[in-house]
Amino acid sequence: MKKYAIIVAGGSGSRMRSNLPKQFIEIGGLPVLMHTLIRFKEAFADIDLILVLPESQFDFWEELCQKHHFTVAHQLVKGGNSRFQSGKNGLSVIETDGIVAVHDGVRPFVSTDIIRESFEVAQVKGTAVVSVASKDSVRVNGQAIDRQTVRLIQTPQTFQVSIIKKAFETEELSTFTDDASVVEFAGFDINLIEGSYENIKITTPEDLEWAEIILKRNA
């Protein structure tokens, strides 16, 4: 089946305390976002990559690609005012059926094994959402709950194209925190697969320190 990946990168850098959006900060000599795109191309050489960015960042991204001689083929799509709208814009350029992964642009350490498994499971079951167990004790409204019942959701979140397109026909709700919540609201089952604690979302300065450690470990 045709394979797609929608890489969503709409961050500003406020929590990073940086004027440079976090997806453009360099780790290991390359912007975070380039590491992410490379991972998906390494997983599937024939994958179609769709990069969703704020339109105001298009020119800067093109400059970065020239600066770093970045030649991984991808299609640029204008982001929306929310994650939901950005995802919908990314989906709008997919015209054939297949399997599509939606991934945070600032999760550059997802393994190719996890990417491939997500596509395999989604092809059979319709959906595949990466998650890990909570390491910490968990309380909800002050009440302790069994942490073994808690899963921390990551990306990629991978779906049959027909399923996620159907799900995104709904109106946006404030309860939509990710693509899986949209698909679940539409009545489809969500299948969780095992993720990795290295699959961090780079959001704060401390995350950059972890990123450098992970890069060195995997070098």
Residue-level pLDDT at 218? 84
- Considering only CA atoms, give the Rg of the chain: 17
Share of the chain above pLDDT 90, in %: 90
Per-residue pLDDT for 201 more than 70? Answer: yes
Range from 5-14, 67-76, 201-210 carrying the lowest mean pLDDT: 5-14
Phi then psi dihedrals of residue 207, to 5 deg: -65, -35
Per-residue pLDDT for 12 more than 80? Answer: no
pLDDT digits (tens, 9 = 90+) for 146-170: 999 999 999 999 999 999 999 999 9
Band the pLDDT of 106: cuts 50, 70, 90: very high
Band the pLDDT of 219: cuts 50, 70, 90: confident
Per-residue pLDDT for 16 more than 80? Answer: no
- What Å distances lie between residue 95 and 1, 35, 139, 170, CA to CA? 13, 27, 44, 19
Share of the chain above pLDDT 70, in %: 96
Residue-level pLDDT at 62? 97
Per-residue pLDDT for 14 more than 70? Answer: no
Q: What sign does the dihedral 40-179-93-203 (CA atoms) show? A: negative
Band the pLDDT of 8: cuts 50, 70, 90: very high
Band the pLDDT of 11: cuts 50, 70, 90: low
Per-residue pLDDT for 10 more than 60? Answer: yes
Instruction: Enumerate residues 6+ apart whose C-beta is below 8 A from 10.
Output: 52, 53, 54, 79, 83, 86
CA distance 102 to 6: 5
